[in-house]
Amino acid sequence: MQADEAVGTRTLTINALPTATINGAKEICTGGRVLSRQVAARYKWSTNETTASIVVTAATYTVTVTDAKGCSATANETLKINASPSDH
């Protein structure tokens, strides 16, 4: 090593990614709810909603969860949507 070189160490913390999941029945009535099981700092659904659960109006959903450390994960789910009993 030369006199003008410096050596140092740094400790890095590698954070695990959160697990994104969409829970609930895979067959659901219009107006039912689906839920992201992950407890997260932020939620972002393909419907632009930002809550842990959303009201179902379409068949395919995506949720991205972001934890308090800024790490993100995404889950996708396709549901069978049935008319609610009051629609008959």
pLDDT 10s digits, 3-50:
778 888 989 888 888 888 888 778 887 777 777 766 778 889 998 999
Stated pTM of the model: 0.70
How crowded is the C-beta side of 20, counted as CA atoms within 13 Å? 22
Q: What is the pLDDT of residue 64?
A: 93
pLDDT 10s digits, 39-87:
778 889 998 999 888 887 777 889 999 988 899 999 998 888 887 776 5
Domains of the chain: which residue ranges?
Answer: 22-83
Q: What is the pLDDT of residue 88?
A: 53
Distance CA 59, CA 55 (A): 11
Phi-psi region of 5 (alpha: psi -120 to 50; beta: other; left: phi over 0): beta
Residue 49 burial (CB count, 10 A): 14
